[in-house]
Amino acid sequence: MIDTSSIGASDISKKAMPIEFLDFNVYGLSRKDLEARLSENSISAVHAKSVFRSLYKDLAPASDASHHFPRQVEAYLNTLDLSIPLSIVSEQRSSYDRSIKFAVKLHDDQKVEMVLMPESKRITLCISSQVGCAQGCTFCHTGRMGLLRNLKPSEIIGQVYLANLWIKSNPDWLAQCKLAPNLRITNIVFMGMGEPLDNVESVSKALDILTDPFGLYLAKRKISVSTAGHIDGLDALLENHPDVMLAISVHSATDSERSKIMPINRRFPLDTLIQKLRNLPLQQKNGLLLQYTLIQGVNDSDDHALKLVNLVKGMNVKINIIPLNPVGPSRLKGPTTERLGSFRKVIHDSGIRALVRYSKAQDIAGACGQLVNP
Ligand code: SAH
Ligand code: SF4
């Protein structure tokens, strides 16, 4: 998530702008889209593969002269917008863990953030799916912005593209992180700004491109979509991508308390959400990740932990406990170390896997719930 702390409430429009789904940028086209467009123009669809390979494998930007496409293909491509539809405007490096938070500017001067997180042998990129978010969770900075607009597929892919170009031109960072010189992004998490399933068409299209064998070719199990529990969006996502990894934000095991901190619970209540999760296809529901942000005095008692255990009884889930990251002027606090330990123990003792996720990039406000329009 991205840090909204620098934004005053008056700067923030609570009103959603109209969503423009049509994407004329080349980075917003799946290979199938490109094949169809080439065919419509009487060009062999087979060229879509080499266009994809050149863009995504060789990382040669579409506007580069280095491509050697047949003339007809080049002429068609020139009818599209070939620019990378966003640009990095600032980067902040964490002194704790070498994570980097980037502020990224879109064509209309809106900004989102993305966070690059090195781990042993892998590089995870946390990306945004919306400018702001309509869901208004009380503990989340992005939620305080309201929704400004959805990102288009090209703007989602553009984040990954830009991050890969940045890695390619910063071999020192790879060396400092003790990562192989040719390593590029290996994992993606949709845990930046926005509720991905409120923008499911763009996210689905981006997944097509991210997983394409001629494109970025990321395995679906290396891509996690985190949702506050948008059931309609979940149905739409799974129709196209039944095998993408899911992370479900639960944060409370009772409807009344959950609704107070996550307004989405009034639309998609907990029992409907859990029922949905229990009925997921086998490959999805095995090892499903549930996220629980722990907030002092709000949802962190042993009784809360027992209720959570009860809620998920019989499910094969992993629980990721995220101590609340401070969010600007909010009075909400993270749990004490003792409370965190005790909460985890109750879950663990019931036989459910419980991991504490200490957010990366906390010193640069790039941790969960801290991302905002910079
Ligand atoms: N909108 C999606 C994805 C982005 S948020 C969702 O809500 O799942 C990614 C994760 O960060 C979610 O689990 C979210 O609840 C959590 N989060 C939000 N604000 C936080 C904060 N201040 N501290 C810790 N976790 C937070
Ligand atoms: Fe939106 Fe997720 Fe933040 Fe809730 S936690 S406001 S759904 S980004």
Given a cut of 50, whether residue 20 has pLDDT beyond it is no
Q: 124 - beta bridge partners?
A: 117, 187
Given a cut of 60, whether residue 374 has pLDDT beyond it is no
Provide CB contacts within 8 A for 72, sequence distance 6+: 41, 43
Alpha carbon of 114 to ligand 2 centroid (Å)? 15
**348 or 359: whose pLDDT is higher?**
348
pLDDT tens-digit readout, 272-283: 999 999 999 887
Q: What is the largest CA-CA distance in the chain?
A: 68
250 Cβ inside 6 Å of ligand 1:
no
142 Cβ inside 6 Å of ligand 2:
yes
pLDDT tens-digit readout, 106-156: 999 999 999 999 999 999 999 999 999 999 999 998 998 899 999 999 999
At 323 the pLDDT is 94
Provide CB contacts within 8 A for 244, sequence distance 6+: 207, 220, 223, 224, 225, 237
CATH number of 86-364: 3.20.20.70
Q: Which residue, by CA, sits nearest to atom 4 of ligand 2?
A: 137
Average pLDDT, integer, range 199-225 = 95
How far apart CA 180 and CA 284 sit, in angstroms, is 32
CA 347 to chain centre: 27
pLDDT tens-digit readout, 332-358: 999 999 999 999 999 999 999 999 987
227 Cβ inside 6 Å of ligand 1:
yes
Find the ligand nearest to 335 CA: 1
Q: What percent of the chain has pLDDT over 70?
A: 90
158 Cβ inside 6 Å of ligand 2:
no
Given a cut of 90, whether residue 263 has pLDDT beyond it is yes
Lowest pLDDT segment from 65-79, 152-166, 292-306: 65-79
Which pLDDT band holds residue 83 (cuts at 50, 70, 90)?
very high
Average pLDDT, integer, range 5-25 = 44
Active site residues: 113, 368
Coil vs helix vs strand at 199: helix
Alpha carbon of 368 to ligand 2 centroid (Å)? 10
**359 Cα nearest atom in ligand 1:** 24
Alpha carbon of 132 to ligand 2 centroid (Å)? 9
* Angle subtended at Cα 167 by Cα 105 and Cα 365, rounded to the nearest 5 degrees: 55
At 97 the pLDDT is 85
Domain with CATH 3.20.20.70 in the chain: 86-364
Which pLDDT band holds residue 96 (cuts at 50, 70, 90)?
confident
Alpha carbon of 31 to ligand 1 centroid (Å)? 32
Lowest pLDDT segment from 64-78, 143-157, 214-228, 268-282: 64-78
At 365 the pLDDT is 56
